[in-house]
Structure 1
Amino acid sequence: MRFPKMKALSIGGLAFSLAVVWAAPISNADSPGDAAGGPAPTVLDDFESYADDAALQAAWKLDWSDVPNSVGIALDQADGGKGMKLSILDSSATWANILHPIAEANRDGSAFEGVAFRLYNESSDRPLDLGMELKTDEPNGAFNFKLTGSAQAKADGGDWQTLPFNGGSLHVEAGFKGEVRMAWDQFNQASWQCGNDQTKCSAPLKPNELTGIQFGYNPSANEGDIIHLDDIGFYGTAAGGGVSSGGQDGGAHPAASAPKAPSWAKAGEIRKLAYAPAPIGNPLKGFMPYLDAGTDGFYKTGDDWRNRASQMPYSMEYFYEPLNAVMKGPNEFDWSDVDKQLNAIAARGHQAVFRFYVDYPDKPTGIPQFLLDGGLKTRTYSDYGNGTHASSLLPDWDDPNLNEAFRTFIAALGKRYDGDPRIGFIMVGLIGFWGEWHTYPYDGWEPVTDANGKGLTDDKGEPVRQPNLMPSEQNQEHVLEEMDQAFDKTRLLVRYPASNDTYQTKNFDIGYHDDSFAFETLPLSMGGQDWHFWGRVLTAGDTDFWKTKPMGGEMRPEIQVPMWNNDPPQYNDPEHPIDGHQGEDYYASLELTHVSFLLNQGVFQVPLSGDSLKRALEGSRRMGYEYDVPKAYLDGTGGQLKVGVEIENRGVAPFYYDWQVELAAKSGGKTVKTWKTDWKIGGILPDEGQNVNRKAFQSLLNNGELANGKYDIYMRVVNPLGAVTSKAIPFRFANAEQGADGWLALGSVSLAGGKSKEEYVVRPGDSLSKIAARLGTTWQRLQQLNRLPDPNLIYPGQTLLLP
């Protein structure tokens, strides 16, 4: 399958630990002041009291390292006055701890907003991933950085900027010198204390019970670099006064209050709805299977799974499509095969995710015939079993005719399918093996070996490396630009984040898919590698992409089923390592990446039971969005119906589309009026700490659009696939009041004081149902009020009484 071992990038990661004892509070007028006008930080240790290195090392002791004496601790004056300098003595070390408890008199930081220190990352080219952990007296009392939070930093002479966390560490560029601040709400209870299950480690940090502080980095990743620390202490006040991005008052994440009730809402008209977990098969999220895994699928048994009761609800299906199945000439396209697959998926009420490829190992080539006839250069290869069943060809990706074909194809693809309700997401694809944007091992780095696996060298003794067969960065950029321009509605994803001299993926409206999820996802600071998916995200400077652009992917087939035997889920089979490795923590990967969907054929095809099935179901449910309505506001005074809702997101990612939101009024169990709103529900972020990202919406009906009376009010988000098939899976909120048909019951309201519609004169072409719909009532009510024996018998000029 599509899981090559990739070569590491030259990105440094950090993972070493320091625990600090604070000295007595010292006022430091020279500390960077608060740009927002708040108090300056309170410095707890400015290192001025240490006479020499021995005194410093007595307070800051190397408590543990996998290599003894791996880190040197010394005084320095790199920042003016005394500070602490950390240098690497043995770069084979991967972890080190320096421990010292906080003096009891200085343990209460609750009067402040967070922790601050000065930092100098003395490195010419390597970023620093700095970890921090706060210690308390509480059970499981270690608190570290959240996976995807952020700090605020102000380089000397610069402005306050946001620095993102990288999987529980702080990403600091080479050469940074300045102040760093982290608010208390950017720490969570360290999951390593709870079997790496963050859901079991959810106690809040109590800054009045601090007993120690740890910093951390990986010496092996920063050989030759020096870290300087100074002026460690607290900043701001509990009432605010720190600096946030944009110079706003507050901490690293300034708290945003919950939305206020509409001005017209009365206490008695506020409905509190009950939370209940949303169903696993909600649209555009969770595990998905192949449309057709085929005979070359990893799992050889159970291919009749569609004929059995599904153990895993799902809302999307995936397929590959060779470019030559569609592109028959330079401007000639046959979309019938694509439409056939989209229709087959839609017929089950699902949306599709798909990718076009040119080179799929061990399948017939996807190169359009007219390009081969035109002289496109190709090469054969035997990697990934190519030639076992069929022989794919690796093209010259920089061929002008091939790139012109890409341009015209992408434009035609967007024109035909942008906004198609049958489609959930499209992967950019096209380039590289499987359309995954790599040609490993032909990457310009992998050594060439002889038959015995020994690396070859040239006449200068340098390693002989495989050629780089990827297209030029310019041609890669062209594909991204053309896809981005072709699709304004349907969301796109590309395999790898990238930042090079030609382009940056973060500048495109394109998300990412990690096709080795929970196996090569985590960065170096979390036990992975800097070339793993999130290491690349970090290198690309795009850690917040998930807030506006989707994240998806695939799990390696080898781990798709056995990982659910473990709690927390993780592939761990010492007798059967994969490429010499075990898997990664599923939930650590999920929470770090904010993934919305994953291809996982195994959980559909292989029977699961007991705890393993429960874990797999929960693993699917936890992906993506989970919207619920905690409050609804209803008012019917003055003859005007007013409806308001508050929507929050309990998931890990937003919903990436603005599907139509509709409201309905029912009376006597019958719908008397349905109307569209202008509510935009896409992009609602999960609440985080004190940050409340939930949103409020309201809709006002004009006086007279509904007759006076009592109504039950409902809301739904309309899946546009419903215009294609009645089997479209409805969007469902995480509320006990949610109906299986997609309608969420908001509550009842009495409408009074409206304009009177006492009589109506029947006009030609009228029917009782048309009149009822026009006037906001039901034909049954009109029949009953007017004592009509046959509701189909009315005539022009007839006068009807109205409710």
Structure 2
Amino acid sequence: MLFTIKNISAALGLSVLFQQAIAQPNTAMLNNGMVQVQLSEYQPAFRNPMKGFREFFQPGVDKIRASYPYPYGSIIKEYMQWNMIENDADDGIDKIIAYSNHRWKGMEAMNMKVIPRVYLVWVEPWHGGRPKDPNNPDDLTGTHWPNGIPEESSPYKQNVGNWGAHVDPADKTKPITGGYFDPAFPERVKKLVEKIGKAWDNDPRVAYVEMGIIGEWGEHHDPDLSTYWAPHDEPDHVVNRTWIPGMEKVLGDAFTKAFKNKKVMVRYAYEFKNYEFGIYWDSWSQPDEDVRGYAEMRKLGDRWKTQPIGGEITWNWGTLGKFKSFEQVVLDPEFFKLTMKQIRNLHCNHLGGITWANFDEPKFMATAGVLQKAMGYRFVLNKAQYSPRVDNGKMLNLRFDLTNTGSSPFYYKWPVQVVLLEPRTLQPVWSSTLKKVDISKWMPGDEWDEAKQQYSIAAPVYVIDQQIKLNGVSKGKYILALSVNDPAGNKPSLRFANGGYLAGGYTALGMIGVGQDVQDFAVPNSNISDIQSDTSLSY
């Protein structure tokens, strides 16, 4: 059965065809005795771990909707206030874990991952920042200095009528004291990063870690980490006021040492040149940041192959200030084209800014689907061959190939399993992890051709060809399927973008006999489900 929905977005000049391909794969017997499977791509976008749209909710302020997570949501940004995870220097990692458990409750059941960012200042007082709400202990606004680090004393004064600040001529060289510039701060940073590494580096809920800590929202500006770019509020840098000498190395060394498993991301591509970090660029689609952001990220070359590139679209300033929502930005033809170019050329893994988006609006939902498919990885199985019958103690021959039609790899080495499922219950009766298969090496194409809307360097075709010994399976007919499991609980999680989907996270190849011959290799239609509608996955 093939169910199609056609939604034409006149505003974009696009025709987006959603084909919910829930039909079984096409199977046929070959002369070599193997079953040949031709697999169809699942055309719509869908939710998959650690890619695509990234959410954010301010605890105690933003209402989490009943439809949470959003149709494409699989990751959520979590701003973690320093003094909530460590207030005293001798606080242990148990406090970090306890507060993380409080803030991240229920993530496992929704198959969601978090991207935590520790920070100290939401908005500086001289930019109009307001204090933390005393009635909301989790409030993100205000400042969050831990005990032992005094608040900042600054010569900045807020400009009348706008966001900016200035320094009076008499204070031209006056530094900021306290806060980031306190003599005790560097050692305190090292100890905190060591603790969060112990708490989060092996936490299955964590997707990536944004470095944060310095600057408003933890975005490495106000103050800066280097003098590479001009400061925000004055024409020239002033040491110990607009930037913090030596802090870039303190942070780079500390995060490299603390995080051996999780990928770490930093705000600006022109900093941390001596480190292999990913990037969270929080000004996607913003023409004003073309040189500082997009061009600098392009200079990183193949960094995207091993480190995630993400961030958010922020529409309330600069050229994007004319827009009032995320939807308006991406529904504008000019900015949709710019966004897609940046996603493809920077190999974007995820984008935020969608917390308040209306996914019930048809034009936006169609456009969001196009962006979701482009972001991150998208593994499409092309064809497969397998033994139609296997006996216990004998080898199952399996060969399949696939292509990554997305923009980035998957950044962790999750196991791929071949599985036999009982046809009535779809419960696994046997499984085996494929050897020497590293999904983090399945790369997309490169160098986006805007005119052709495709990569000039095509994505490689990856071929997996293995023999797997079968044991301990009762005689009978089974569904042969593939899964990619989250190591946290060894449960299916990441899905291939193919029809023939089986509820629970499996992609069907065909029927197979154990100890008996099989005449019909087609999986019954009653077993096939729609990928996006399956919300049963967890870890």
* TM-score, normalised relative to structure 2: 0.71
Assess, with a 3 A threshold, how the Cα gap between structure 1 residues 394 and 519 changes in structure 2: closer, same or farther: farther
- Computed over aligned residues only, the root mean square deviation of the Cα atoms, in angstroms, reads 3.7
Q: Displacement, 1:743?
A: 0.5
Q: Displacement, 1:277?
A: 2.7
Alpha-carbon distance in 2 for matches of 1:691, 1:477 = 38
Q: Displacement, 1:649?
A: 0.4
Q: Displacement, 1:416?
A: 1.6
Alpha-carbon distance in 2 for matches of 1:329, 1:621 = 45
Q: Which amino acid aligns with 2:310?
A: G
On the 8 A contact 1:291/1:345 being kept in 2, the answer is no
Once the two structures are superposed, what CA deviation does each residue of 1:583-609 show, in whole Å capped at 9, x if it has no partner? x721112112111111123553x4652
Assess, with a 3 A threshold, how the Cα gap between structure 1 residues 721 and 703 changes in structure 2: closer, same or farther: closer
On the 8 A contact 1:554/1:599 being kept in 2, the answer is yes
On the 8 A contact 2:197/2:259 being kept in 1, the answer is yes
The aligned counterpart of 2:363 is 611
Q: Displacement, 1:413?
A: 0.9
Helix, strand or coil at the partner of 1:331: coil
Helix, strand or coil at the partner of 1:561: helix
Assess, with a 3 A threshold, how the Cα gap between structure 1 residues 400 and 642 changes in structure 2: closer, same or farther: farther
Q: Displacement, 1:474?
A: 3.0
Helix, strand or coil at the partner of 2:329: helix
The aligned counterpart of 1:143 is none
Q: How does 1:447-466 map to 2 (within 5 A)?
A: none
On the 8 A contact 1:429/1:436 being kept in 2, the answer is yes
The aligned counterpart of 2:184 is 401
Once the two structures are superposed, what CA deviation does each residue of 1:653-681 show, in whole Å capped at 9, x if it has no partner? 11111122222113554532123333321
Is 1:592 aligned to residue 345 of structure 2? Answer: yes
Q: Of 256, 271, 285, which aligns to 2:51?
A: 285
The aligned counterpart of 2:263 is 491
Helix, strand or coil at the partner of 2:196: helix
The aligned counterpart of 2:378 is 626
Assess, with a 3 A threshold, how the Cα gap between structure 1 residues 536 and 669 changes in structure 2: closer, same or farther: same
Alpha-carbon distance in 2 for matches of 1:610, 1:196 = 13
The aligned counterpart of 1:371 is 149
Q: How does 1:689-700 map to 2 (within 5 A)?
A: 689=456, 691-700=458-467
Q: Displacement, 1:353?
A: 1.2
Is 1:650 aligned to residue 405 of structure 2? Answer: yes
Alpha-carbon distance in 1 for matches of 2:35, 2:509 = 11
Assess, with a 3 A threshold, how the Cα gap between structure 1 residues 396 and 721 changes in structure 2: closer, same or farther: same
On the 8 A contact 2:308/2:348 being kept in 1, the answer is yes
On the 8 A contact 2:12/2:332 being kept in 1, the answer is no
The aligned counterpart of 1:431 is 214
Compare relative contact order (CA 8 Å, sep 6+) and give the higher one, 1 or 2: 2
On the 8 A contact 2:344/2:374 being kept in 1, the answer is no
Alpha-carbon distance in 2 for matches of 1:484, 1:265 = 54
Assess, with a 3 A threshold, how the Cα gap between structure 1 residues 292 and 698 changes in structure 2: closer, same or farther: farther
Q: Which amino acid aligns with 1:355?
A: R
Alpha-carbon distance in 2 for matches of 1:498, 1:660 = 34
Q: Of 338, 350, 356, which aligns to 2:100?
A: 338
Q: Of 677, 694, 697, which aligns to 2:434?
A: 677
Q: Displacement, 1:478?
A: 2.1
Q: Of 305, 308, 313, which aligns to 1:555?
A: 313
Once the two structures are superposed, what CA deviation does each residue of 1:394-422 show, in whole Å capped at 9, x if it has no partner? 85535442111111111111112112111
Alpha-carbon distance in 2 for matches of 1:424, 1:521 = 29
Q: Displacement, 1:380?
A: 6.9
Q: Displacement, 1:627?
A: 0.5
Q: How does 1:428-577 map to 2 (within 5 A)?
A: 428-439=211-222, 445=230, 469=241, 471-472=243-244, 474-498=246-270, 504=273, 507-520=274-287, 528=290, 530-531=291-292, 533-538=293-298, 541-558=299-316, 559=323, 560-567=326-333, 569-570=335-336
On the 8 A contact 2:285/2:335 being kept in 1, the answer is no
Alpha-carbon distance in 2 for matches of 1:700, 1:265 = 19
Q: Displacement, 1:386?
A: 10
Helix, strand or coil at the partner of 1:673: strand
Q: Of 314, 317, 334, which aligns to 2:76?
A: 317
Assess, with a 3 A threshold, how the Cα gap between structure 1 residues 410 and 265 changes in structure 2: closer, same or farther: farther
Q: Displacement, 1:641?
A: 1.6
Alpha-carbon distance in 2 for matches of 1:478, 1:440 = 15
Q: Which amino acid aligns with 2:84?
A: A
Structure number, greater radius of gyration: 1
Is 1:737 aligned to residue 500 of structure 2? Answer: yes
Helix, strand or coil at the partner of 1:480: helix
The aligned counterpart of 1:151 is none
The aligned counterpart of 2:8 is none
The aligned counterpart of 1:45 is none
On the 8 A contact 1:428/1:480 being kept in 2, the answer is no
On the 8 A contact 2:419/2:481 being kept in 1, the answer is yes
Assess, with a 3 A threshold, how the Cα gap between structure 1 residues 511 and 711 changes in structure 2: closer, same or farther: same
Helix, strand or coil at the partner of 1:307: coil
On the 8 A contact 2:432/2:468 being kept in 1, the answer is no
The aligned counterpart of 1:38 is none
Q: Matched residues, percent identical?
A: 20
On the 8 A contact 2:284/2:312 being kept in 1, the answer is yes
On the 8 A contact 1:359/1:435 being kept in 2, the answer is yes
Once the two structures are superposed, what CA deviation does each residue of 1:430-487 show, in whole Å capped at 9, x if it has no partner? 11221111126996845978xxxxxxxxxxxxx7776663554532122112112211
Alpha-carbon distance in 2 for matches of 1:607, 1:686 = 28
Q: Displacement, 1:382?
A: 5.5
On the 8 A contact 1:552/1:596 being kept in 2, the answer is yes
Helix, strand or coil at the partner of 2:479: strand
The aligned counterpart of 1:257 is none
Q: Which amino acid aligns with 2:495?
A: R
Q: Displacement, 1:367?
A: 1.6
Q: Show structure 2 runs of 5+ residues with no match.
A: 1-10, 17-29, 124-128, 130-140, 166-175, 317-322, 446-454, 518-539
The aligned counterpart of 2:479 is 712
The aligned counterpart of 1:354 is 116
Q: Which amino acid aligns with 1:364?
A: G
Helix, strand or coil at the partner of 1:345: coil
Q: Which amino acid aligns with 2:497?
A: A
On the 8 A contact 1:278/1:735 being kept in 2, the answer is no
Alpha-carbon distance in 1 for matches of 2:44, 2:504 = 13
The aligned counterpart of 1:102 is none
Assess, with a 3 A threshold, how the Cα gap between structure 1 residues 441 and 717 changes in structure 2: closer, same or farther: closer
Is 1:421 aligned to residue 198 of structure 2? Answer: no
Alpha-carbon distance in 1 for matches of 2:413, 2:185 = 36
Helix, strand or coil at the partner of 2:246: helix
Q: Displacement, 1:720?
A: 4.2
Q: Displacement, 1:348?
A: 3.3
Alpha-carbon distance in 1 for matches of 2:55, 2:41 = 29
Once the two structures are superposed, what CA deviation does each residue of 1:683-718 show, in whole Å capped at 9, x if it has no partner? 311145565523223443336554665432111111
On the 8 A contact 2:416/2:482 being kept in 1, the answer is yes
Q: Which amino acid aligns with 1:289?
A: E
Alpha-carbon distance in 2 for matches of 1:690, 1:703 = 39
Assess, with a 3 A threshold, how the Cα gap between structure 1 residues 704 and 354 changes in structure 2: closer, same or farther: closer
On the 8 A contact 2:297/2:346 being kept in 1, the answer is no
Q: Which amino acid aligns with 2:414?
A: W
